[in-house]
Amino acid sequence: MPRPRGFEQEAPPPAREWPISGRSARRAQRRPFVDAEWRSLAPPRAVGRSSLSGGKLAAAAVAVAEQRTRRAASRVRIVVTKAPTACWNRGSPLPRFSCGLRVGRTGRRDPDNRSLKDTMFARGLKRKCVGHEEDVEGALAGLKTVSSYSLQRQSLLDMSLVKLQLCHMLVEPNLCRSVLIANTVRQIQEEMTQDGTWRAVAPQAAERAPLDRLVSTEILCRAAWGQEGAHPAPGLGDGHTQGPVSDLCPVTSAQAPRHPQSSAWEMDGPRENRGSFHKSLDQIFETLETKNPSCMEELFSDVDSPYYDLDTVLTGMMGGARSGPCEGLEGLAPATPAPSSSCKSDLGELDHVVEILVET
C-alpha cells in the first residue's frame, strides 16, 4: 500500500551497496575524500516498505488521505499559482475605483501601506486605468490609499487561509508554521474589526439573509466541537462570541454582532463568496485540530476517518446535531431540510470561493 504523501513524488533513491558498519564491514583504508567513494560507503536507502498491515482504520485513513491530497492537489495547484492576482478582483465595491489601483506614490503616506504595497506590487502586476480618473484623482488619492491597503490586507488574509488549508492537507503539518499563520489571520481580523470595516455595512446587506450562512456555520462548528471535545482555533467570528464554544447559547444575541460582520466580509468582494470565508476558517481549524495530535483520544470516537471529509462531517452532523444550543437558531432558521441544503450549498460555495480566488 503506498504511503500517503503530499504532492511531490520522491524518486526512489538509488540502491547503494554498503556493508553495514559493525557487522561485516571492513573499512577501506583511509584515503582523501572522493565523491564516488563516498557514495559507495553510504548505506543503502531503505527501498520499498513492507506493506502496511494496519487495520481498516489505517487503510481508510490512507485512502482518505490520498483522496484528499488528490483533490487538494488539483485544487491547491491552481490556487497557489494564481493567488496573487486574486486580490485585484473585478468586483470592486465602489465603482469609481474600477480602474484599478495606482502603482506608486500617492498623496497620503501610510507606513503600513508602504510596506505592504512595495511587496505586493513587486510582483509587477499592472492594471490598466480605464478612464476618468484625472478629475477625481486629487480628492480620492487618500481614499485610494486606504482602499488599496484594505485590499492588500484582504489578499494577505486570503493567502493565509489558503496556507492553513494547505497545511492541513499535507501529511505532517508544521505546528510552528500553522500557529504563526493563524496568529497573522487573527491579527488581520482584529485590525479589520478595529478600524471599522465592519461598521461600513450597506443596509441592503441585511436583506441578503445571512442567517442561512450563520446557521450552517454554527452547526458546523458545533458538530466539530461537540464530537471532538476539543476546540479549533477561533474562527473569524470568535472575536465576538464569548470565549469557548460551549457558550453557544447566546447565539441569538451574538447574531447581532455577527450579522454585520459576515455582511462586512461581503463588502470587499463578491458577496456570496466572501461571507463563506467565515465558515472556511472554522472548517480549516477544525480539521487542523483533528490533525493535531492532542486529539488522539478523539480518534477513538465513532467519527474518525470520515471526519476528514467535509461531506461526511456535514451528513454525520445532520443526524447528531445538538438541540440545546440550536434552539435559538432553529426558531429563526427554516425547517430541517433547509439546513442540509444550505450546508450543501455551502460546500458549493466553498468551491465557488476557490474559483473566485482563481478567477476562472
Partner 1 sequence: MDGYVQRVLTATPSRLAVPLPADIISTVEFNHTGELLATGDKGGRVVIFQREPESKNAPHSQGEYDVYSTFQSHEPEFDYLKSLEIEEKINKIKWLPQQNAAHSLLSTNDKTIKLWKITERDKRPEGYNLKDEEGKLKDLSTVTSLQVPVLKPMDLMVEVSPRRIFANGHTYHINSISVNSDCETYMSADDLRINLWHLAITDRSFNIVDIKPANMEDLTEVITASEFHPHHCNLFVYSSSKGSLRLCDMRAAALCDKHSKLFEEPEDPSNRSFFSEIISSVSDVKFSHSGRYMLTRDYLTVKVWDLNMEARPIETYQVHDYLRSKLCSLYENDCIFDKFECAWNGSDSVIMTGAYNNFFRMFDRNTKRDVTLEASRESSKPRAVLKPRRVCVGGKRRRDDISVDSLDFTKKILHTAWHPAENIIAIAATNNLYIFQDKVNSDMH
Check binding of 61 to partner 1 (CB under 8 A).
yes
Check binding of 30 to partner 1 (CB under 8 A).
yes
Closer by beta carbon to partner 1, 59 or else 321 = 59
Check binding of 203 to partner 1 (CB under 8 A).
no
Interface mask toward partner 1 for 278-307; x: CB under 8 A: -------x---x-xxxx-x--x-----x--
Residue in 109, 130, 131, 176 binding partner 1, rule: CB under 8 A: 176
Instruction: Read off φ and ψ for residue 153, nearest 5 degrees.
Output: -65, -40
CA triplet 107, 108, 109: central angle to 5 degrees? 120
Choose the stretch contacting partner 1; rule: CB under 8 A; options: 5-13, 92-100, 269-277, 341-349. 5-13
Check binding of 138 to partner 1 (CB under 8 A).
no
Distance in Å, CB of 289 to partner 1, minimum: 6
C-alpha cell at position 68 = 484528499
Distance in Å, CB of 114 to partner 1, minimum: 9
Closer by beta carbon to partner 1, 159 or else 214 = 159
Distance in Å, CB of 71 to partner 1, minimum: 17
Q: What is the DSSP letter of 333?
A: S
Distance in Å, CB of 56 to partner 1, minimum: 11
Site for partner 1 in 319-358 (CB under 8 A): none
Alpha helix (H) residue ranges in the chain: 35-41, 56-86, 111-121, 133-169, 175-194, 211-228, 251-267, 271-291, 310-320, 326-332, 337-358
Distance in Å, CB of 100 to partner 1, minimum: 19
Q: Which of 355, 242, 223, 358 minimizes the C-alpha distance to 287?
A: 223
C-alpha cell at position 283 = 472548517
Distance CA 71, CA 247 (A): 35
Q: Which of 357, 240, 343, 221 minimizes the C-alpha distance to 286?
A: 221
Site for partner 1 in 107-126 (CB under 8 A): 111-112, 115-116, 118-120, 122-123
Q: Which of 134, 246, 239 minimizes the C-alpha distance to 187?
A: 239
Site for partner 1 in 39-58 (CB under 8 A): 39, 41-43, 45-46, 49, 52, 54-55, 57-58
